[in-house]
Amino acid sequence: MSIDALPPLRAVIESMDLWAKKSLGQNFLLDLNLTRRIAREAGPLEGRDVLEIGPGPGGLTRGLLAEGARRVLAIERDERFLPALAGIDAASGGRLAVELADALAPDEPALFARHGLTAPVSVAANLPYNVGTALLIKWLTAPSWPSWFDSLTLMFQREVAERIVAPVGGKTYGRLSVLAQWRTRARILFDVHPSAFVPPPSIVSAVVRLDVIPDPEPAPLAALEAVTQAAFGQRRKMLRASLKTLGVDPLPLLDAAGIEPTLRAEQVPVPGFLALARAFDARH
């Protein structure tokens, strides 16, 4: 059997009684044209290894395999999907490996070694809303860079997608924008209407692609997290006030970074935060 000859997803869900669990952020995509489109946007995948988070009944998984991925490793928390995923593995000629785990926990390189994947991989996922941001932050704050992936193609709530790509100067520009735009080039590809999901969520979603910048401007990670947390934690205050929570005098830091003390966090572009992180790292 080939991927295209598998039964429709709705039939799989009904025959296996795979009703969605709200607690696991389950909203399924049943339109295989849409999942194929997302897989295409994650590509080119021909001959590449892919990590998918939360395959569920496997709509996106099918798309990734049909687009020519060499191997797909799918991390899923809900064991009810294992039989449906085993059917996809068989139809793909054994190119799908499934790991029953919480995607926030694993050591990805160890999993790749166990399942025969070669880094860097492409990551593709229709993420569960409740863990999507945490997962992205985990990946973006990898201690060594470039990490084990070179692109991330991910479905988020539209509001989170906007924060990821937000330009400096606006209300949506924040810690997530700084982290994402420091180490990747991020763009929103297209919106997905609630009616595309079963059950439909209450908000519009969007597919975002982040491409790794292999040699981003250097910045000490812990210091970057500290300065962005202090600055955006009190985003209405001027930096000379908000950065006091760092426990050092903010003025020499701002001076070393070449940033006006009267600016607010949302007015500082990404390179400004990197310079601030270097200054903080050097002085505390």
Residue 280 CA to residue 284 CA, distance in Å, equals 6
Eight-state DSSP code of residue 127:
-
Of the listed pieces 86-94, 96-104, 146-154, 220-228, which binds ligand SAM according to CB under 6 A?
96-104
Of the listed pieces 22-30, 177-185, 207-215, 263-271, which binds ligand SAM according to CB under 6 A?
22-30
By CB under 6 A, the residues from 105 to 134 that bind ligand SAM are: 126, 128, 131
Name the one residue in this structure whose structure tokens are 């991910």: 154
Nearer to ligand SAM among residue 56 and residue 272 (C-beta): 56
Q: Which residue is nearest to ligand SAM (CB)?
A: 54
Residue 271 CA to residue 35 CA, distance in Å, equals 36
Residue 182 CA to residue 46 CA, distance in Å, equals 28
Q: Does 208 bind ligand SAM (CB under 6 A)?
A: no
Beta carbon of residue 20, minimum distance to ligand SAM (angstroms, whole number): 8
Q: Does 24 bind ligand SAM (CB under 6 A)?
A: yes
Burial of 23 (0-12, 13-18, 19+ CB in 10 A): exposed
Beta carbon of residue 89, minimum distance to ligand SAM (angstroms, whole number): 15
Non-local (6+) Cβ contacts of 9 within 8 A are: 28, 30, 32, 57, 58, 59
Nearer to ligand SAM among residue 131 and residue 277 (C-beta): 131
Beta carbon of residue 105, minimum distance to ligand SAM (angstroms, whole number): 8
Nearer to ligand SAM among residue 27 and residue 242 (C-beta): 27
CA angle, 148 as apex, 128 and 137 as ends, to 5°?
A: 40
By CB under 6 A, the residues from 48 to 87 that bind ligand SAM are: 53-56, 59-60, 75-78
Q: Is the dihedral of CA 150, 152, 153, 159 positive or negative?
A: negative
Residues near ligand SAM (CB under 6 A)? 24-29, 53-56, 59-60, 75-78, 102-104, 126, 128, 131
